[in-house]
């Protein structure tokens, strides 16, 4: 029998929201969810997993956690996979990531809101692969790794398109894992972040700023969420 979920720890206010952190037991070890609460007006929970090369400190995840509760009436849940919580340097196999995400799903649904499954890079792949079975409301794919760098023939488009759910892809214009123009046609929507790489960083010589790039991410996601029915 799986251990009971541990009580949330209140960490104090973040602007108008309360941030709390929960440790959630999974079959792969303890995971962690940090909540950014939109309050009683919340329409969705947006669950965001991190990539294989970093954690929830990624600039796009942090920007969305700060922006969406007020701008889109969306509670944001930043999810740290067990391998990251344990301090390991390498992510496990995709099936292990998927299993941990599934184990976390009851906690993500606990607020009683429709859950938008999402993440960046490897976290986006996890969200796409599991969204239909978990009955997610929609999918948010940040920096989706459409193919390994320099290997466009190794397409992962089937993962992106397989769920059949409303899907938003937010992709850097210079992402080596797949530029926006490389994505196949489909019902999904693509927001391009000009000049940005896989981490949504823009070079200093670009005709846009890092702040502009993150604004494109946050506003694009907020507008898409506004278009979804709750």
Contacts of 181 (CB under 8 A, 6+ apart): none
Instruction: Name the one residue in this structure whose structure tokens are 């859950």.
Output: 115
- SS3 category, 2: coil
Cα–Cα separations (whole angstroms), residue 77 to 55, 117, 181, 182, 215: 13, 10, 30, 30, 20
Contacts of 67 (CB under 8 A, 6+ apart): 218, 222
Q: Determine contact, residues 110/135, Cβ cutoff 8 Å.
A: no
Contacts of 219 (CB under 8 A, 6+ apart): 71
Q: Determine contact, residues 196/175, Cβ cutoff 8 Å.
A: yes
Average pLDDT over residues 192-200: 98
Q: Determine contact, residues 159/183, Cβ cutoff 8 Å.
A: no
Tell me: the pLDDT tens digits for 61-71?
999 999 999 99
- SS3 category, 206: coil
pTM to 2 decimals?
0.91
The pLDDT value recorded for residue 8 is 38
92-95-100 Cα angle (round to 5): 80
Q: Where residue 17 falls among pLDDT bands split at 50, 70, 90?
A: low
> Pick from 84, 94, 81: which is nearest to 125 by CA?
94
**Choice among 5-19, 62-76, 81-95, 116-130 with the minimum mean pLDDT:** 5-19
Residues paired with residue 189 on neighbouring β-strands, in sequence order? 168
Q: Is the pLDDT of residue 136 over 60?
A: yes
Q: Residue 200 is encoded by which pair of tokens?
A: 């949504």
**Choice among 4-18, 33-47, 110-124 with the minimum mean pLDDT:** 4-18
In order of start, what are the domains of the chain with their CATH numbers?
A: 10-227 (3.40.50.1820)
Based on the number of CB atoms within 10 Å of its own CB, is 142 exposed (0-12), middle (13-18) or buried (19 or more)?
Answer: buried
The pLDDT value recorded for residue 15 is 46
């Amino acid at each position: 029998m799986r251990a009971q979920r541990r009580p949330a720890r209140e960490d104090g206010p973040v602007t108008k929201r309360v941030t709390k952190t929960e440790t959630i037991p999974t079959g792969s070890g303890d995971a962690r969810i940090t909540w950014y609460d939109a309050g009683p007006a919340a329409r969705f929970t947006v669950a965001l997993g991190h990539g294989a090369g970093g954690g929830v400190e990624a600039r796009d995840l942090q920007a969305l956690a700060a922006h969406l509760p007020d701008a889109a009436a969306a509670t944001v849940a930043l999810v740290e996979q067990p391998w990251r919580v344990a301090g390991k340097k390498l992510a496990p196999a995709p099936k292990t990531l998927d299993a941990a995400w599934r184990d976390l799903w009851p906690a993500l649904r606990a607020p009683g809101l429709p859950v938008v499954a999402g993440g960046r890079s490897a976290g986006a792949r996890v969200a796409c692969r599991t969204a239909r079975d978990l009955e997610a409301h929609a999918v948010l794919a940040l920096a989706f790794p459409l193919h390994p760098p320099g290997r466009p023939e190794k397409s992962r488009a089937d993962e992106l398109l397989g769920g059949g759910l409303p899907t938003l892809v937010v992709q850097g214009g210079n992402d080596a894992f797949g530029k926006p123009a490389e994505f196949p046609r489909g019902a999904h929507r693509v927001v391009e972040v000009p000049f940005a790489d896989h981490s949504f960083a823009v070079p200093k010589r670009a005709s846009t700023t890092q702040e502009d790039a993150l604004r494109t991410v946050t506003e694009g996601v907020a507008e898409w969420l506004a278009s979804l029915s709750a």
